[in-house]
Each structure stands twice: as structure tokens, then as C-alpha cells.
A = this chain, B = another copy of it.
Amino acid sequence: MKHPAQFSEDDLIATFFAPLAGEAGLRLRDDAALMQPPPGRELVLTKDLLVAGVHFFSDDSPAAIARKALRVNLSDLAAKAAEPLGFLLGLALPADWTAEWLAAFAAGLGEDAANYRCPLLGGDTVRTPGPLTISVTAVGAVEAHKMVPRDGVKAGDRIYVTGTIGDAALGLKLRRGATADQDWIGALSDADAGFLRDRYLLPQPRLALRGALKGFAHAAMDVSDGLAGDLGKMLRLAGMTATIELGRIPLSGAARRALQMAPRLIEAICSGGDDYEIVCAAPPAKAASFEAAAAAARIAVSLLGAASPGEGALSFVDAGGEAIHLVRTSFQHF
């Protein structure tokens, strides 16, 4: 392939990104994208920024980096019960980029854009003296008045979470391989280690939960900064709190085996972040319908507990009702 110095910005866009563009992207040859909003729908807009060394590792595969950047945004749309319409990509490339790297990045991005029916609409590519930085803005649509808000929890609502929690936090620890973690890392099977690493690398946006959320949930958000912190935030917005029994937090087999070897991992599991599952609240009268709709959509959901009015912090208890103290409840960006 050509050397980076041989690409103008236009070449780069035409070579790598124009093939990913949807109709609204105008072949990426205009100043902007042009979109006909679906009639009767409202638009849901979200934006996430990912920085090499902070949100992913520079030496992760370029396809995985691209897919993660798109998927974390799709996870936000999923939590709002919105259907993806497309996305804009901002890419700040460090000086050492290669055409091979960018081709693999675009291929991974294109695969996900096709799978999630979320075409590229436009964007911007610039150089940076700093780390690779990726900005994705995703646009989705939802029927009028059907977006599921974050602040809608009511007293008595059942609190559910999708999938399993903590895998990505353990996958990140595996990826870092700190000396303090060698006790359980060394004892984990290759299959378990691979599973956990993948869960860190490739979020699974729960878009299939849209129908269940729209039909039956009062509130929802995606769990990106840790279950403890994010659920606490969702409850606090509505003046609610909850007591969650640790045994109710859904764990994968791999996470369960790691936790058996190192019980201190419960902290990382509850508050480590990068789960990209959905935590939501449904009224008791609709709980069975919510569960049935989720099952029909093949999305596993687990009942965590119930919301009750109160200003107190969300608390976690063990099987005997003893409170568990978490040192920190969520990933801190600052």
C-alpha cells in the first residue's frame, strides 16, 4: 500500500471511508451529511470519545478498536430504545499511522456498520501529535415519546440488568497483567481468559432489548462506568435507592471462577466499567411482560432488586444481609 505521506485527506477518505458511507453520507464528498428523519420519529444523538491508552490499548487490533468505538455509542442508543440510523466519525491519527492499519480499522468499522445497519454519514480526519483519538457521534430514531429516560425510576420498580457484569473489568486486568493479579490470572483456563479479554475488547450493544424497554421500562441506562456507580446514578436522579444482594449480580462462568480464586475481585466486578450492559427499571405489574419480551429477543436479563424512595447510597449486601463496602463505585474519568 501507499505510504501515509502519499495520501491527501481526500485520498484517505475516498480509499478507506467512502465505501462505508450510507446514502445520507453523500459519498463523503460534501461538507455535511443529509438525512431525511423517519416520519413520526424522534432523534436520539450520542457521542463518545475514545483515546488510545485510556479507553483502549494502542496495540489492540485496529478492527477491534474501530468496532469498540462504534459499539459504545450503539450501546447508548440501545439503552434509550433507539434504532441506529448512522454515525459520524472523527479520527485524529498520530504520525505513525500506516495504510495497512487504517485499512484494517475501516474493515472492522464497515463490518459493524453493516451488521448494525448503521452506515457512516460523515466525519473528519486530522493528524495529532498525541495518541490516536476517535470520536463517534451516533444518530438513532425512536417513536415519539418512547425514548426511555435515565431519570424515570419509580418506587417499587424492579431493577434488571442484561447479560453478565464484570467480565470486561476482569478482561482489562488480564490485559494489564499486574503482578498483584498473577494469583488468579495464572490459574485461569485459556478459554476463560480469552472470553474475558474479548468482553473487554468487544462490547455487545443490547439493541435487541429495544422492544422490551419501549414497552415496559420506566428508566434505563447503559452500564459503562461500573454497575455500582451507574445504577446508583440512575436511582439518585429519581430520589431512589436500593439494596442489591451480591448473589443476584449475573456473572459469567469465567468471572465466577476468577472470583472464587480471588474474592477481592468483587470490587472490580461491581465497579470496574466497560460492561456495556443495560440496567433498567420496570414497574412490578409489567415485570413479567418485560421478562417475556427480553426472552423473546434472546437477551438474558437478571432481576437485581427493587427501587425504594431514599437519598441514601445504593448498597450491596451478601447472602446473610451483611453490607459490602466498595472502595470506589465507578470508573473515574478524572
A-side residues, CB < 8 A to B, are 4-5, 7-10, 12, 24, 26, 29-37, 41-51, 53-55, 76-77, 79-80, 82, 88-93, 121-131, 133, 135, 137, 139-140, 144, 147, 149-151, 221-222, 233, 237, 332-334
Contact = CB atoms under 8 A, between A and B. Distances in A.
A233 B13 CA distance: 14
A128 B131 contact: yes
Given A8-B332, A9-B332, 9 more contacts: A29-B237, A30-B149, A31-B221, A34-B42, A47-B88, A47-B137, A48-B90, A54-B128, A54-B129
A51 B130 CA distance: 9
21 contacts: A8-B333, A29-B151, A31-B76, A32-B76, A32-B82, A34-B147, A35-B43, A36-B144, A37-B41, A47-B124, A49-B124, A49-B133, A51-B129, A54-B127, A54-B129, A55-B126, A88-B137, A124-B135, A128-B130, A128-B131, A130-B131
A12 to B, nearest CB: 7
Contacts of A31: 46, 76, 79-80, 150, 221-222
A221 B332 CA distance: 41
A155 to B, nearest CB: 20
Contacts of A127: 51, 54, 333-334
A42 B54 CA distance: 37
A334 B8 contact: yes
Contacts of A92: 49, 51, 133
A162 to B, nearest CB: 14
A30 B332 CA distance: 18
A55 B106 CA distance: 25
B4 A32 contact: no
A32 B80 contact: yes
A129 B4 CA distance: 24
B333 A126 contact: yes
Nearest to A141: B37
A203 to B, nearest CB: 14
- The residue among A32, A77, A133, A139 with the most chain B CB atoms within 10 A of its own CB is A32
Nearest to A46: B32
A93 B24 CA distance: 32
Contact of A32 (B5, B44, B89, B125): B44
A12 B334 CA distance: 9
Contact of A37 (B37, B221, B334): B37
A50 B51 CA distance: 14
Given A9-B333, A9-B334, A54-B126, A47 B135 contact: yes
